[in-house]
Amino acid sequence: MTLFRLDSSIRTEGSVTRQVADTLVSSWLGKHPGDTVVRRDLGASPLPADVWPVAATAGYTPEDQRSEQQRSAQALAATLADELIGADAAVIGAPLYNFGLSQHLKTWIDLLITDPRFSPGTTPLAGRPLTLVLARGGGYGAGTPRAGWDHATPYLLQIFRDVFGTDVTLVEAELTLADVNPAMADLRDLAATNLANAHEKAAETGRAHAELVAAAAA
């Protein structure tokens, strides 16, 4: 069986989404040590910022008239699609940046959708388990000053659940900047509890998804 992992944090050290995703992957492999983990790290190896418009316009250009750049962009989109379609389950790490998702993750999603297998209405991953590991530096829940400012989570849910058709599990960590922001010092205990709960849910999800996929394959 294969688990696909995508990281989009620009931090390679100290990233909460990476750490929580590590927990999920370790838990999965604890159930099935021989399984394959296919990994794409958009933080360490970003996709070219201009690749999406090139791939998108290629779709409206007759095949025999496409430029080498367009063909290359389409090939990259196909590679990304192959990675995700070829997996039995997926985990996506998505930190909240400036109240939205990272440019790297948005480029990856946009490029995926240029592949015919991921065009809206196709639901290419119908029913497959996918975990969104979300990290937010502050608090965005109901009743907080910034309730409703998280514009990433609703979008990601719509893309992965409603457009791609996956069965989405959310693993969320908030207040992740409490340890480095003096103004959030009073929230550090709550932040630590929140992070511990995220790791616990990630471990539970990793085991559950590994068992689910194994049962489906049996």
Answer for the pair 145, 113: CB distance below 8 angstroms, yes or no. Answer: no
At residue 125, the 3 state secondary structure works out as coil
The CATH code belonging to domain 2-217 is 3.40.50.360
Residue 49, phi then psi, degrees to nearest 5: -65, -25
| Interior angle at CA 160, CA 109 and CA 110, nearest 5 | 15
Q: Which two tokens stand for residue 71?
A: 């063909």
Q: Which amino acid is at 33?
A: P
CA dihedral 1, 77, 10, 14 (to 10 degrees): 0
Answer for the pair 161, 188: CB distance below 8 angstroms, yes or no. Answer: no
Task: Return the sign of the alpha-carbon dihedral for residues 136, 137, 142, 147.
Answer: negative
- Residue spans of the domains in the chain: they are 2-217
Q: Which two tokens stand for residue 87?
A: 């997996």
How confident is the prediction along the chain (218 residues), in pLDDT tens digits per residue? 999 999 999 998 999 999 999 999 999 999 999 999 999 999 999 999 899 999 999 988 998 999 999 999 999 999 999 999 999 999 999 999 999 999 999 999 999 999 999 988 888 899 999 999 999 999 998 989 899 999 999 999 999 999 999 999 999 999 999 999 999 999 999 999 999 999 999 999 999 999 999 998 87
